[in-house]
Structure 1
Amino acid sequence: MIKIPAGQYTIGTNDGVGFSGDLEGPQVQVTLEAFEMGATPVTNEEFSAFVAATNYVTESERFGWSFVFDYFIQELDEQYKQTVPNLKWWKGVHGANWRHPEGPGSNIAERLDHPVVHVSRNDAIAYCQWAGLRLPTEAEWEVAAKGGTDYECYPWGEEFLADGQYQCNIWQGNFPVENTLADGYSNTAPVKTFEPNGYGLYQVVGNVWEWCVNPRGIPLSAFNQLQGNEFWNKLQTIDDQPYAIKGGSFLCHDSYCNRYRITARNGNTGMSASNNMGFRCARTI
């Protein structure tokens, strides 16, 4: 866990490059108490320890299926697929869960240092309660992701490439049918791939979406009303309401979803899970 100092910070953006409905701006000043943030998202190895200790069964396992991006689905009978309206590249695959990220036949044996995926927000809450941690607010996540800078897009600057080099794991190529692997990965990457930000946090942009504690789309000014532990005390709820997610994933591409910027905002319902959804923990000091 990495300590993030208390202070007054600017969150949000006025640049207008995002989706208007995401309420990325206007910028506001927030005052945060010191807190700690995970250097990485929770890994398969860490989640395995939690399951071994508690016999926890994730929602995807209980439901019997989860969403997989169809680029990773080889041959699968149509009876095992569910679709998402207007998002034809997502398929609900029977047997897909954190142990089997692409469905039956896949496993995490060689991915123990990758972020755990197919975890709902409810699953993330269960892990945090076991570990004595919590989920961060969007404000905490954004401040930690900036790594002590004022950058709004990426921890390394405002331009996507740094000295012509890729610094994160997102989709490269013709989305959603061709991935050139220019950044080295088609799927998740180990959590300590690429350089950490100024605070020592890895992969805050790309790789996997990360659950936050607060509801989706609340005004940025709300983060001056409650601190992270206060949001956590109010919202350790197991439900299917829409909650915030941050950071983008290995499936983000500028032609479709440019929400892999630090100040970008997005959300999903609490029971949702997919092969690009994970989480990072925080802790009140």
Structure 2
Amino acid sequence: MRRITSGTFRMGSDRHYPEEAPAHRVTVDSFWIDETPVTNGQFQRFVQATGHRTSAEIPPDPREYPGALPHMLYAGSLVFVPPREPVDLRIWSQWWRLLRGADWRHPYGPDSSIEGLDDHPVVHVAYADAEAFAAWAGKALPSEAEWEFAARGGLDGAEFAWGDEFAPGGRRMANTWEGDFPHRNTSRAFRRTSPVGAFPPNGYGLFDMIGNVWEWTSDWYASRHPNDAPKACCIPRNPRGGREADSRDPRSGILCKVVKGGSHLCAPNYCRRYRPAARHTQPVDTSMSHVGFRCIVREDLP
């Protein structure tokens, strides 16, 4: 883990997606954070020690999904399956499939495995799975403010975790989509997840804060940030995001948390969320092939 010293920074952005606004000052206390996302190897040790079964491995309870078609209530998870040609980018169901038998051990469907992928981020973990791992490890999931402060690596206000240029000197700094999303990936290195540490760390020595996999935070999702404090004396300290009562997805009614960092599926023509300020909503019951997490340890307050 790396120690992040307490500080004040501008969280969010006024230049990109509406949910990132307004940019506002916040202060976070010192904490420790994992250098990398939790890997398959680490998660496997947790499962071996506890017998934990992830949400993707358990058929949904019909009582929790009234009106759902019975044949759709099976153990599985959402897997990215690229279409063969350009599609309407407003219809995400054209590249996401709920695959029976997809889970953290079988990231691309029942016939796949994590053999040889011990150092890749674990995926197909719902929020409760990430919380269970954190509790077993004696850690916690970061708040959105803690995560973003760490991701910025000391570059307050910079566009990316490494500065203001996406690919300085032509060098790729994170595992993000290359080519036209979702049908044409031109990357010569990674088409899916990459080993943690395959790209340079940020200024705090943290790897994969941008790209590779989205990461769970402990904050309930709100559609925008609070306004900036009018005076320095009023800057929020260790803010905790939105309210649980307001975080339900309007279509499904499922509670949602904030995920950060973007993933290997973020692309200039579709999702420019490979930035520290970027954020997205994620239903707590939903696991996907591009969502993982990392943990923190908060220091005792004086």
TM-score range, shorter chain: 0.7 to 0.9
Q: Please point out which of 231, 241, 246 is paired with 2:255.
A: 241
User: 1:27 maps to what in 2?
Assistant: 23
Shift of 1:218: 6.1
User: 2:54 maps to what in 1?
Assistant: 58
**Equivalent pair of 1:30/1:221 in contact (CA under 8 Å):** no
Q: Please point out which of 232, 235, 256 is paired with 2:270.
A: 256
**Equivalent pair of 2:160/2:276 in contact (CA under 8 Å):** yes
User: 1:165 maps to what in 2?
Assistant: 171
Q: Percent identity?
A: 40
Shift of 1:278: 0.3
User: 1:10 maps to what in 2?
Assistant: 10
**Equivalent pair of 2:9/2:156 in contact (CA under 8 Å):** no
User: 2:181 maps to what in 1?
Assistant: 175
Shift of 1:27: 1.5
Shift of 1:225: 5.1
User: 1:76 maps to what in 2?
Assistant: none
Cα distance in 1 for residues equivalent to 2:55 and 2:30: 33
User: Given residue 212 of structure 2, which amino acid in structure 1 is its aligned partner?
Assistant: N
1:91 lines up with 2:101 in the alignment: no
Shift of 1:152: 3.5
SS of residue paired to 2:168: coil
TM-score, normalised on structure 2? Answer: 0.82
SS of residue paired to 1:202: coil
CA RMSD of aligned residues (A): 2.4
The 1:139/1:222 distance shift into structure 2, 3 A limit, reads: farther
1:42 lines up with 2:38 in the alignment: yes
The 1:107/1:284 distance shift into structure 2, 3 A limit, reads: same
Cα distance in 1 for residues equivalent to 2:212 and 2:161: 14
Cα distance in 1 for residues equivalent to 2:154 and 2:205: 10
User: 1:141 maps to what in 2?
Assistant: 147
Q: For structure 2, which runs of at least 5 residues remain unmatched after alignment?
A: 60-74, 85-89, 229-234, 245-252
Shift of 1:155: 1.5
Shift of 1:71: 2.7
Cα distance in 2 for residues equivalent to 1:43 and 1:251: 18
User: 1:280 maps to what in 2?
Assistant: 294
User: 2:225 maps to what in 1?
Assistant: 220
Q: Please point out which of 185, 199, 203 is paired with 2:208.
A: 203
Shift of 1:159: 1.6
User: 1:101 maps to what in 2?
Assistant: 107
Cα distance in 1 for residues equivalent to 2:83 and 2:113: 13
Query: Which structure is larger by alpha-carbon Rg, 1 or 2?
Result: 2
User: Given residue 205 of structure 2, which amino acid in structure 1 is its aligned partner?
Assistant: G
User: 1:119 maps to what in 2?
Assistant: 125
Cα distance in 1 for residues equivalent to 2:98 and 2:11: 35
SS of residue paired to 1:39: coil
User: 1:79 maps to what in 2?
Assistant: none
Aligned positions, number: 264
Cα distance in 1 for residues equivalent to 2:197 and 2:268: 24
Cα distance in 2 for residues equivalent to 1:222 and 1:60: 38
SS of residue paired to 2:135: helix
User: Given residue 187 of structure 1, which amino acid in structure 2 is its aligned partner?
Assistant: R
SS of residue paired to 2:297: strand
Cα distance in 2 for residues equivalent to 1:4 and 1:69: 34
Q: For structure 1, which runs of at least 5 residues remain unmatched after alignment?
A: 74-83
SS of residue paired to 1:163: helix
User: 1:203-242 CA distances to partner (integer Å, 9 max, x unpaired)?
Assistant: 11100000000011265349965637x78xx9xxxx9411
